Amino acid sequence: MAIFINEPSHTFNEYLLIPGYSSSEHIPANVKLNTPLVKYKKGEKPAIEMKIPMVSAIMQSVSGDRLAVALARSGGVSFIYGSQSIEDEAAMVAKVKAYKAGFVPSDTNVCPEATLADVLKIKRETGHSTIAVTHDGSANGKLLGMITSRDYRVSRMEMDTKVTEFMTPLDKLVVAKEGVTLSEANNIIWDNKLNALPVISNEGNMLYFVFRKDYEEHKENPNELLDEHKRYIVGAGVNTRDYEKRIPALLEAGADVLCIDSSEGFSEWQQRTIAWVRENYGDTVKIGAGNVVDKEGFLFLAECGADFIKVGIGGGSICITRETKGIGRGQATALIEVCQARDEFFEKTGVYIPVCSDGGIVFDHHITLAMAMGADFVMLGRYFARFDESPTEKLMINGSYVKEYWGEGSNRARNWMRYDLGGDKKLSFEEGVDSYVPYAGPLKDNVEKTLSKVRSTMCNCGALTLPELREKAKLTLVSSTSIVEGGAHDVVVKASREV
């Protein structure tokens, strides 16, 4: 006989938070949104802690290298999509890790025989205007000089002019020697009014650049999430088929954390994948798993050794799994049950496994509700797909700008590995749609606005941290009538309101 759960499962839109006492200390400026990304033992700190409770979905239309950099700048983590070749995914990860390292390897170099035409071509292809001239044109050749856009005027020079004729030669450059600290390098930059400082070896070989703009960007982005080498933290998606080849390549490229990208995580396939990681890397490699929607699924992945566990099946805006397969659960109900299991597991074992709420976020306040229900962070797809930094095209449709957004289970993505049940290597039927989302501009501005709402609501609840919110939150189910009451009603609205 089947097990029947006769109580309906609920969505975020069916809940409201009841305000709690807030003192004069409860102002948005005092709210801290730090949250663990991976599991840790009681009394210890997590290996990775985010500054904001937001990660981007493992999707072709969401998580490319540009969005990964932008989100890390704001304090969150992006998971580069795995539905591409191993080489291409690893290259994206490497690009994020190289984007800002404090000490940046010189990836635009020319030899003395290069011409102005070569310099302009490099600038067009890479966007980089600072170029090292080395004896052999390599990143670690003997440094002979440096070229910036101030060293030439295209209108007054021939394209075949050799770089040695207009570069700033080594004897006129301010350089630092290997062993210099980042703080010392920045002092040299400021003292000498430089935009870029070459760092060379004792033998005179090019090693790195340190850029003024990196220092300024850090000051403008105080929440940016960096590793111990001052590089942006980035995640990567893996599947349960080619993990033995994909994971080593991603780790070699610098991935800080992995996540199994699957529509359903209560499976032997995920158990095998995590077991392989633990056998080959122990606990040094961090890997999340999912998705699950109940206590039993959580405990299974917890015992497998997952570093965080994702909750949600069928709640994504482009997901049609519930329609096509009849599988899933209301996101709020699923999250509440899993987070209760997480807390019980922590009390029993002393190991805290963060829970990620994946799907079902329609409005900004749903993020706060998810946190109050126990989530440590949320994974967002549609939300991030709207921004400049997502990988998709910005189009004009019916007079409005939109961006393309498609599900990994759509025919466009054909990510059969996400829905793999051990059968044929193909997508038998669609579990996602191809769509558009309204264009919303840059990630940074939108994330700041969203989180300002989260902070404000937390203050209304008398909480200054996410653990305090989980402890103090009071939630109430609402009727369909009260949902209508919560929006503008019985008036003629003058202009379209922002959603």
Tens-digit pLDDT profile for residues 319-342: 766 767 678 899 999 999 999 999
Q: What is the pTM of this model?
A: 0.80
Higher pLDDT, residue 273 or 494: 273
Q: What is the pLDDT of residue 263?
A: 79
Q: Can you tell me the mean pLDDT for 332-359?
A: 98
Give the pairing of strands 257-260 and 235-238. parallel
- pLDDT higher at 215 or 456: 456
In the predicted structure, residue 472 carries a pLDDT above the cut 80 = yes
Could you report the per-residue pLDDT of 398-407, keeping only the tens digit for each? 899 999 887 7
pLDDT of residue 484: 75
Average pLDDT, the chain: 90
pLDDT value at residue 411? 61
Distances from the Cα of 306 to the Cα of 197, 316, 317, 416, angstroms: 43, 22, 26, 23
pLDDT band at 499 (very low <50, low <70, confident <90, very high): very low
Distance CA 244, CA 238 (A): 10
Interacting residues of 147 by C-beta distance below 8 A, sequence separation 6+: 110, 119, 130, 131, 132, 133, 163, 166, 167, 168
Token pair 């009681």 in the structure block, residue: 42
Q: Among 66, 231, 418, 455, which one carries the catalytic annotation? A: 418
> Which residue type is seen at 238?
V
Q: Give the model confidence (pLDDT) of 257-308 as tens digits.
A: 999 998 789 999 999 999 999 999 999 999 999 899 999 999 999 999 999 9
What's residue 435's pLDDT?
80
3-class SS of residue 442: coil
What's the confidence (pLDDT) of residue 215? 72
- pLDDT score, position 498: 52
Report the pLDDT value the prediction gives residue 253, as an integer from 0 to 100: 97
What is the C-alpha to C-alpha distance for residues 234 and 81, in angstroms, rounded to an integer?
Answer: 11
Q: Burial level of 300, CB count in 10 A (0-12/13-18/19+)?
A: buried
Pick the range with the lowest mean pLDDT from 79-93, 164-178, 217-231, 338-352: 217-231
Looking at the chain, the whole-number percentage of residues with pLDDT higher than 70 is 92
- pLDDT band, very low/low/confident/very high, at 416 (cuts 50, 70, 90): very low
Helices 86-99 and 65-74, packing angle to 10 deg: 40
Give whole-number Cα distances, 154 to 54, 127, 167, 417, in Å: 45, 17, 14, 50
Residue 428 confidence (pLDDT) above 70: no
Q: Is 356 a catalytic site residue? A: no
- Which residues, 6+ apart, have CB-to-CB distance to 240 below 8 Å? 260, 262, 267, 269, 270, 272, 273, 417, 420
**Stretch 133-151: mean pLDDT, rounded?**
94
Average pLDDT over residues 423-445: 75
**What's the rounded mean pLDDT across residues 195-220?**
86
Query: Residue 208: CB partners within 8 Å, gap ≥ 6?
Result: 101, 103, 104, 105, 106, 198, 199
Choose, from 66, 73, 304, 319, the residue flagged as catalytic. Answer: 319
Token pair 């709207």 in the structure block, residue: 386
The model's confidence at residue 106, banded by pLDDT at 50, 70 and 90, is confident
User: Is 418 annotated as catalytic?
Assistant: yes
Full DSSP string of 361-402: --SHHHHHHHHHTT-SEEEESHHHHTBTTSSSPEEEETTEEE
pLDDT for 204 beyond 90: yes
Q: Does residue 482 have a pLDDT over 80?
A: no
Look up tokens 């008398």; give the residue: 462
The reported pLDDT for the residue numbered 409 is 65
Nearest to 72 by CA among 196, 293, 221: 221
Residue 318 is predicted with a pLDDT of: 67
Task: Indicate if the pLDDT at residue 18 is higher than 70.
Answer: yes
Rounded Cα distance between 343 and 338, Å, is 9
DSSP strands (E only) in 139-292 = 143-147, 168-169, 176-177, 196-200, 206-211, 235-238, 257-260, 287-292
The mean pLDDT of 164-190, rounded to a whole number, is 92
State the pLDDT at residue 101: 59
Rounded-to-integer distance, Cα 384 and Cα 58, Å:
11
Q: What is the pLDDT of residue 326?
A: 75
Read off the pLDDT of each residue in 190-204 and give the average, rounded to a whole number: 93
pLDDT at 456: 98
**pLDDT, position 419:** 54
Our CA angle for 282, 288, 290, nearest 5°, is 130
* SS3 of the chain: helix, strand, coil, percent, to 5: 35, 20, 45
